[in-house]
Chain A
Amino acid sequence: MSVFHYYVVAAILFSIGAGGFLLRRNLLVMFMSVELMLNAANLCLVAASSSFDLARGSSFALVSIAVAAAEVGVGLAIIIAWFRLRPSVDAGDLQELRG
């Protein structure tokens, strides 16, 4: 089994995540797609880490997971706050930043 296979899986995962983020309008699902992308990246890191025989990649993946956890906590809180303001999770309604 070569590292390349892992990369391919990661690429596919990442692309699906990106596509989901672009295609879906539900904020939660978009958020999940972001998690998918993060996982893909982590997979890359870990695969590369084992291919170079270094622990650093795996360590970084761990930090990345921690960041993801923090991000999910804050992100979901924001979604809740937003939902309270306007009961919708449709990203199309999020246009407050229009210039």
Chain B
Amino acid sequence: MASKKESCVGSHILSLITFLPLLGALVVALLPRGGHAALRGATLVFSLANLLLSLTVFGVDPSGGMSFKESAEWIPTLGISYGLGIDGIAMPLVILACLVVPICIATTHHLRDPSRLKEYLVFLLLMETGMVGVFCATDLVLFYVFFELTLVPLYFLIGMFGGEKRIYAAFKFFLFTAAGSLPMLVSILYLLWSYKQSHGAWSASIADLRTMSLTTPEQMWVFGGFALAFAIKVPMFPLHTWLPDAHVQAPTGGSIILAAVMLKLGTYGFIRLGIPLLPQAAQAYATPLLVLAVIGVIYGSYLAWAQDDLKKLVACSSVAHMGFVMVGLFAFDKDAVRGAMLQMLNHGISTGALFLLVGAIYERRHRRGLDDFGGLARVAPGLALALIITSMSSIGLPGLNGFVGEFMIIAGTFKTQPLFAVLTALGVLLGAIYMLQMVRRVCYGKPKSEEAKHLTDITPTEKLAFAPLLILMFWIGLKPDFLLDKIGPAVDAALLALGTTP
């Protein structure tokens, strides 16, 4: 009896991970509004349980195929199914998404509107369902549904709990991403339709769609639709302006989720859909995308350097870091793509941690200016230490996570695109500049005002929230193999469609 139950759970583990937060959201929604401890506790229980469950997907098939597959009919007349599955590419992202949510709960003690804690937590759990769903979906339409589902809770998280210009920021975020997803929907419909044309039956399964061969011009159009949606999410150079606004205005938890997971939807989309489904178009678009990505790296770094606002600085650094990922992705070199996959995760960890810390600093004084603090290393040494380590991870200091990804990207890209690799490497230098001057202005020197002299050091809650990220920084930095072993074959499988790569 027990074993039967066990296997039942085992075969539906992805559904469980995807929808347990939704159940949690329902439960939390039914709890009384006033009981903050109960609300937080329930959310924490659900998210931690989900985190534990999500660890099981670490046992993903190391040969690169989809594991934990599930399939059920959904809209059979159009071949749309409820298909879940996970491989080495999605696995770390799923775990990251599940890890980030409990961390976000730790940041809810300083909400702008504490009376609406309940909504915050419900949206958080809804987010989790959406994020996990995107990474697990093996059906194109299901992917789209989850992709869009992530939009709504984040919109409310920003719009309800954000800073002074939250409505503007939330609206901008929503419009940008929605503008991107509509062309994607058209592309998806076109794919489904042309599958029907060529195979005579409807199917929205990504695996089925891979068997279809479109002509190059068709691919170009379809890829264009996908690329727009994903490039906005990443975000790539000219489409990045929503990000600083969203990050600056978002509450700490929103920023963390945005940085850690939401931006990955773009790059994940490219590797999961763009490249395998539309290989010719991906190759044709590679150079323009690389150019934009490199511009993103350098331009984002310069932007970050120019900022006087902590959150904005970190947000701009996101643009630069995600540029790295895009460069690695479109170098079409196996090492570079592995590096890009790892860098996605690294960015999630480092930037997530940065936002956690910056949020913690902000909540102490409700100031974000680089020059509002000073001497943090003396005033709040724990916080400063955490900030410095995270900055080092972010600028790719060897021994910490950032380096492994960056190095693999640059080394791999150099094999196929030497020029872009060298230009990308400039980002390493610029990263050091803006991060270190941030650290110097915030942590070193003398406190710049009387208030800056009296800040609470890192609290136990913050420590607890930061600890897993810190461990991951060192772990991935020193022993990335535990992930690379799983990522590698999956990347090879994804790049199979390109055919010609080494």
In the complex they form, do A and B come into direct contact, defined as C-beta atoms under 8 angstroms apart?
no
